[in-house]
Chains A and B, each alone.
Chain A
Amino acid sequence: MNDRPINNRAWLFVLPVLVFVLFSSLLPMMTVVNYSFQDTMGQNNFFWNGIAWFQNLLDPSTDIGGRFGNALLRNLIFSLVVLFIEVPLGIAVAICIPRHGWKVGATLVMIALPLLIPWNVVGTIWQIFARADIGLLGAALTRMGIHYNDTQDPTSAWATIVVMDVWHWTGMVALLAYAGLKSIPDAFYQAARIDGAGRWSVFRNIELPKLQKVLVIAVLLRFMESFMIYTEPATVTGGGPGEATSFLSLDLVKIALGQVDLGNAAALSLVYNLITLSICWVFFTVMTQLDQRKDL
């Protein structure tokens, strides 16, 4: 830690971006805050409603409150499940990627392919892929006698969305982990060989600690993206069957654009935003603190 005061003057260069963000994000965000404390009868006439929208949202016995609690729980479960599959799988894939020769390029391109496909196209691909009548996956599973229908059975719907996300994003974790593995100097492996370390012990004592930073980034990116997931479930299941895959973002769109219930939607998006922001901040702090530790 050096003891010089921090000079923040470089932030002035960010001013042009701030102006842009003001129009693209801050003003809409302020409007949402305004909506969350007022009610309207239309005609752009608003009147003060106090904290009633928030009371409604945070009370589990109301309709919106119940939906919010369930959707939040679904979001958290989804993010955790996805992280628990994608991060270990991504590391495993990264370890298997060749380190030399033409195979490197070929493998990396193959792994990166799903990342290049737009979200709604991924959703459409999987929606057709999973159909129990004509989809390759759905029809194959049905023929094998496995009960599978992602439009009627909640378990199938969840499995489809989780597998879809794993298919879409494990590549990113693998690429990050691969970059981290490549940056480990050969000397570490040589030292391990001299000490007679086995494959597991090399992984446990050299590779995993060296991967820590990229893994924090991978977990951050994957968490944020999966926590805010909208397009893919909207295309594949539309939040169904019933409410089984209604994540917060899907519910928010239903409330804001479907029911044009501005107050409830505004309160929901503010609380949603606050949760996202604080988790982001925790990850960011952990990341910057790791950066400052020289021993990693």
Chain B
Amino acid sequence: MGWMAWNWHTAVFFLVIALLLALMTVLAITRPETPRRGILRFPTTRGDRLFVSLIGTAFIYILWIRFTGGNTMWAPLVISILYVTAMFRFA
């Protein structure tokens, strides 16, 4: 694994993603769901909302760095949390 240039920051990141996927699998088995239609105007499941959240969060960070230079990274974190909450609640 030496060639992969690991460091703990990115390792934690991937671990969290892996845990989220595992959690989604467990939830899908124990608490099956029906897709629901929300503000995105098409039926979404938990997995869809997670995907939209992750992609959207990445864009929030990228746009933040693009337009502010990214000297402080707390604001995009707050925006992302609000966005993810909104996605899981209303999408």
| Contact status A271-B34, CB under 8 Å | no
- Contact in complex: B28, A8 (CB < 8 Å): yes
A31 CB–B CB distance under 8 Å: yes
Residues in A neighbouring B73, C-beta threshold 8 A: 51
- The interface residues of chain B lying within 8 Å CB-to-CB of A289 are 42
Cβ-defined contact, B7 with A48, below 8 A: yes
A226 to B75, CA, bound (A): 36
Interface presence of B70 (CB below 8 A) = yes
Residues in A whose Cβ lies below 8 Å from that of B65 = 51, 54-55, 58
- Tell me, yes or no, whether A214 is within 8 Å of chain B by CB: no
Residue of B with least CB distance to A27: B4
Do A285 and B42 touch (CB < 8 A)? Answer: yes
Chain B neighbourhood of A33, CB < 8 A: 10, 13-14
Q: Given A6-B45, A281-B51, A274 and B58 touching (CB < 8 A)?
A: yes
Q: Report yes or no: B5 in contact with A34, Cβ–Cβ below 8 A.
A: yes
Q: Which residues from B are CB-within-8-Å of A55?
A: 65, 69-70
Q: B41 to chain A: closest CB distance in Å?
A: 9
Interchain CA distance A4-B7 in the complex, whole Å: 44
Give chain B nearest CB distance to A289 CB in angstroms: 5
Partner of B62, one of A34, A46, A58, A59: A58
**B3 at the A/B interface (Cβ < 8 Å)?**
yes
In the complex, how many angstroms separate the beta carbon of B57 from the nearest chain A beta carbon?
A: 11
Q: Are A274 and B4 in contact (CB under 8 A)?
A: no
The docked-state distance in angstroms from the alpha carbon of A34 to that of B2 is 12
Q: CB distance A3 to B34 under 8 Å?
A: yes
For residue A24, CB closer than 8 A to chain B, the reply is: no
- Measured CB to CB, the nearest residue on chain B to A3 is B34
Number of interface residues of B (CB under 8 A): 28
Q: Could you say which of B33, B62, B69 has the most chain A C-beta atoms within 10 Å of its C-beta?
A: B62
Q: Assess A46 versus B5: contact at CB under 8 Å? Given A4-B34, A5-B33, A278-B59.
A: yes
Cβ B10 vs Cβ A54 within 8 A: no
Please name all residues of chain B whose beta carbon is closer than 8 Å to the beta carbon of A271 when the two chains form the complex. 62
B10 interface neighbour in A1, A4, A30, A277, Cβ under 8 Å: A30
Whether, in the assembled complex, B89 has its beta carbon less than 8 Å from a beta carbon of chain A, the answer is no
Contact residues in B for A58 (Cβ distance below 8 Å): 62, 65-66, 70
Bound Cα distance from A38 to B7, whole angstroms: 9
Is B70's CB under 8 angstroms from A51's CB?
Answer: yes
Which residues of chain B have C-beta atoms less than 8 A from A54's C-beta? 62, 65, 70
Q: Which residue of A lies closest to B9 (CB)?
A: A37
- Contact in complex: B55, A30 (CB < 8 Å): no
The chain A residue sitting closest to B51, CB to CB, is A281
Contact with A along B54-74 (1 / 0, CB 8 A): 010011001001100110010
Q: Does A227 contact B (CB under 8 A)?
A: no
- A8-B28, A54-B65, A278-B55 are contacts. A35–B42 as well, Cβ < 8 Å? no
A44 adjacent to chain B (CB < 8 Å): yes
Task: Establish whether residues A277 and B55, one from each chain, have CB atoms under 8 Å apart when the complex forms.
Answer: yes
Q: Which residues of A are at the interface with B, using a C-beta cutoff of 8 A?
A: 1, 3-8, 27, 30-31, 33-35, 37-38, 40, 44, 46, 48, 51, 54-55, 58-59, 271, 274, 277-278, 281, 285, 289
- Cβ-closest 9 pairs across A and B: A5-B32, A58-B66, A34-B5, A46-B5, A31-B4, A58-B65, A34-B10, A55-B70, A289-B42
Q: A27-B4, A34-B5, A51-B73 are in contact. List 9 more A-B contacts (CB 8 A).
A: A4-B34, A5-B32, A5-B33, A33-B14, A46-B7, A48-B9, A58-B70, A274-B55, A274-B62
Please name 17 pairs of A and B residues whose Cβ atoms are closer than 8 Å in the assembled complex, sorted by A. Answer: A1-B35, A5-B34, A6-B32, A27-B4, A31-B5, A34-B10, A38-B7, A44-B5, A46-B7, A48-B7, A48-B9, A55-B70, A58-B65, A274-B59, A278-B55, A281-B51, A281-B55
